[in-house]
Structure 1
Amino acid sequence: MKRPILRVVGLSVLGLVLLAGFVLLMVRSGPLAPVRVTTAVVERGAFENAVFGVGTVEAERSYAIGPTVPGRVLAVHVDVGGEVRAGQLLAEMDPVELDARLSASRAAAARAVHALEAARAQVRDAEVRQELAGRNARRYASLGEQAFFSDAAVEAKRQEAGSAGAQLQAARAQLDAARMDLERLEAERSAAERQRANVRLVAPVAGVVTARDAEPGTTLVAGQTVLRMVDPASVRVRTRIDQGRAGGVHAGQKASIVLRSRPGLVLAGRVARVELNGDAVTEERIVQVVFDEVPTDFAFGELAEVTIATTRGGDVLAVPGAAVHEYGGRRGVWTVADGAAGFVPVRTGDTSLDGRVVVLEGLQAGDRIVVHSERELGAGDRVSPAESLAGVRR
């Protein structure tokens, strides 16, 4: 009798132990266990929003330098990367027959000058002859009235005066023709000089040579490029910004630029211009960002990462973006009070690049909210704050 009683007691104790263990397991690790969560306290503080984009380093003012007429490259005096000053000789084209044409034009213009002087002398001579013939005609007419000269003699002098007047008109016409001929030849000489000057390719502004597209001996057509150069003062980053985030971008905002070739260096810049045209295919907007101080080591066409600071706030409630959820058709956060979770609807504002969301209504400073949870929460669920959700529940 005694041994069966001990067996029953032992089995009962074992069953109670197993039941207690099962209950403890259910409470700590099973469906009845509190949900492990990570939490954060809502605080007021500074908030800075920004937008991010990728762009390419370009120059707003670039120049393609080449001949205006077909020809052969005679010499190239600069190389890629060379700094040049405004008006510096960069390259020369073979003038071929331009020098001979220019000499002929100058000689023709000089001859026209002499012809003009001769025409002026003829006008002066004709004026003197016309004045003398007029005086003689008047004198003969006066003496003819007194019967000293016959009517035929008086008429002859009048004819001489008229002929002298006609010669004067002809001399003046020749003078005008000589003057116009000189103007034409001067224009031709000037055109020849400009053509001769065009074979000397000079820098329009101070800048840097970025490409050398032709070498001495190369035959080019009109408009073909020999050299390309840019104005370093116009260097900027042509940045593409998502249209959904570009609404707050405007000229003058500060920007941070990281060149692909120098990933560890952040360069200061600012927004120079927001382009009016956007890209409907990629849904991006073009923003021109300039450097506060142009770096010395960069490459045109190099990719750059640009971050533009758009808004700032000195006393703003902001929560991690992971804490904001949709529950029951409303947008809000889960709060923790007395070990239980409760859903609080909120009205949110901007979202920063680091994932923080501005809370405009619904929370107050000091509220504790759930950031991450190991499963979906429901109203009234018991929660257990933890430093991290990583690892296995014990």
Structure 2
Amino acid sequence: MSKLPLSRRALSILAVLVPLAFVLGYVALRSGPLAPVAVTVVQVESKALRPSLFGVGTVEARQLYRLGPVAPGRLLRLSVQVGDTVKAGQVLGEMDPVDSDDRLRSQQAQVQRAAAAVADTTARHAFAQQQARRYEQLFAEKATSEELLAARRQDLQLASAALAAAREDQARAQSDLQALRTQRASLRLVSPVDGLVTARDAEPGTTLVAGQMVVEVVDPTSLWVNTRFDQVSAAGLAAQQPAQVALRSRRAQTLAGQVLRLEPRADAVTEELLAKVVFSTVPQPLPPIGERAEVTVDLPELAQGPVVPNAAVQRQGTQIGVWVAQGDRLDFVPVVLGRSDLEGRVQVLKGLAPGDSIVLYSEKALTARSRIHVVERIPGVSS
């Protein structure tokens, strides 16, 4: 009689445990570790990708002039400030001439004396030449002796030598005068171009050494961006390609430009290629020399082929590939990638075909045994 209550108790327990086990199994399969992973999928597209190359550089000037004295001296005056616009040939400042003006006046007097000496010896030479011709006629008429004719001819030779020496002295004096004038002119700091004063490193009264910079002038039409590009992605970069330049101070404005040239030497430390990018028009107002800029270069369009988002590319061990979704199954397919663009798309050279369905985002890491559940959006992961 005691077995009947026990059987009822067991049945009661089983009645509770069986539904509970069923609920737990359902929860484990739907929201636990065995639950399907939510993923978003996209179709492999066939597109003609137009890659772009991004680089960072600084604004520089290819025509930059650092003006200073060619000899030691004291700065007498300086008439320009940083930011002033100057014209070609404009005198910006002057070094103290010390005794240059006195030596110049002395040399001018020496030139005048040399000119007077040339005039005197020219007259003497003309007289000696006239006397020599006269005595040659007299000797022909037997009216003078051969000794007197020889003496007149010797006088002519001496006058010719004196005239040649006087002319050499005059040329030397004029050359020395020109040298002093050039030296005097070198004391003036003259702008070689129409430009902008970007630096003023000395004040009047300062004693300077030869070659020390006083002012710096740049040609605004020669501004360019010295740009660095990653060597890995720089294949196809060439001169004359169009570019867009975004200055740090004007990030909302993009300036048109183009690649002027590639530098023959790369940076071996940072593994970057160097290129000069010029502006299509001179930016107004002028950007400061040394300002950072972001450069985007449009590379030639590639042939049409399979294209996938960069976010879909995964690494499994040593292989690079994508997860291909086939119903609720997953297959990891290795791929060979080509070029990419700045919109996050990459060219697939081998491994996929247009129309293949691949996983773009997943709420957690996937494996070959993962079961998936396709959703339109994963909160906080995809947009």
TM-score by length of 2: 0.91
Q: Which moved more, 1:190-199 or 1:342-351?
A: 342-351
- Please state how far the C-alpha of 1:263 moved relative to its aligned partner: 2.7
Given candidates 51, 66, 71, the residue that maps to 1:69 is 71
CA contact (8 A) 1:252 1:272 kept: yes
SS at 2:229's partner residue?
A: strand
Partner of 1:293: 281
Matches within 5 A, 1:232-311: 232-295=220-283, 296-311=285-300
1:247-303 CA-to-partner distances (Å, cap 9, x unmatched) read 321111222222222233222221111101112122222111112223214211111
Tell me the secondary structure at the aligned position of residue 22 of structure 1: helix
1 CA distance for matches of 2:158 and 2:178? 30
How far did residue 389 of structure 1 move?
4.1
Q: Deviations over 1:304-336 (max 9, x none)?
A: 222222243474421122322345864432211
Q: Is contact 1:342-1:380 (8 Å) kept?
A: no
Q: Does residue 322 of structure 2 align to residue 333 of structure 1?
A: yes
Alignment map for 1:136-285 (pairs within 5 Å): 136-140=138-142, 157-285=145-273
1:384 aligns with 2:381: no
The 2-side partners of 1:262 and 1:29 are apart by 50
- SS in structure 2 at match of 1:132: helix
Matches within 5 A, 1:313-324: 313=302, 315-324=304-313
Give the one of 355, 361, 365 matched to 2:350.
Answer: 361
Shift of 1:190: 0.7
In the alignment, which residue of structure 1 is the partner of 2:123? 121
What's the secondary structure of 2:224's corresponding residue? strand
Q: CA RMSD in A?
A: 2.3
Pairwise CA distance, 1:378:
4.1
The equivalent position to 2:20 in structure 1, one of 12, 18, 21, is: 18
2:117 maps to amino acid: A
In 1, Cα distance between equivalents of 2:140 and 2:279: 89
Kindly indicate whether the alpha-carbon contact (under 8 Å) linking 1:347 and 1:361 is maintained by their aligned counterparts in 2: yes
Larger CA Rg, structure 1 vs 2: 1
CA deviation map 1:17-38 (0-9, x unaligned): 1121022122212344222222
Contact 1:51/1:353 (8 A) holds in 2: yes
Total equivalences in the alignment: 377
Partner of 2:29: 27
Residue identity opposite 1:18 in structure 2: L
Specify whether residues 306 and 13 from structure 1 end up closer, same or farther in structure 2 by C-alpha distance, changes over 3 A only.
same
More moved, 322-331 vs 31-40: 322-331
Partners of 2:346 and 2:215 lie apart in 1 by 52
The alignment's TM-score, normalised by the length of structure 1, stands at 0.88
1:51-104 Cα shifts (integer Å, max 9, x gaps): 222211110110011122222222111111111111111111222211121112
Question: 2:196 is aligned with what amino acid?
Answer: V
Per-residue CA deviation, residues 82-131 of structure 1 (Å, 9 max, x unaligned), is 11111111111222211121112122112212211211111111112112
Q: What does 1:344-359 correspond to in 2, within 5 Å?
A: 344-359=333-348
CA offset at residue 47 of structure 1? 2.4
Q: What amino acid does structure 2 have at the position aligned with 1:93? A: M
Compute the displacement of 1:5 (Å).
6.5
Q: How does 1:368-379 map to 2 (within 5 A)?
A: 368-379=357-368
Q: CA–CA distance in 2 between the matches of 1:4 and 1:138?
A: 176
**Partner letter of residue 355 of structure 1?**
G
Query: Contact 2:220/2:286 (CA < 8 Å) preserved in 1?
Result: no
Map Cα deviations across residues 334-380 of structure 1 (whole Å, 9 max, x no partner): 21122221233333211333432211233232221012334443446
Structure 2 counterpart of 1:44, from 40, 43, 46: 46
Corresponding residue for 1:151?
none
From the superposition, tell whether residues 15 and 260 of structure 1 become closer, same or farther in structure 2 (CA, over 3 Å). Answer: same
- Could you list the runs of 5+ residues in structure 2 that have no partner in the other structure? none
Comparing 325-334 with 59-68, greater Cα deviation is found at 325-334
Task: Tell whether the 8 Å contact from 1:275 to 1:286 is kept in structure 2 after alignment.
Answer: yes
Q: In structure 1, how many angstroms separate the alpha carbons of the residues matched to 2:327 and 2:232?
A: 41
Identity percentage over the alignment? 44
Q: Secondary structure at the match of 1:359?
A: strand
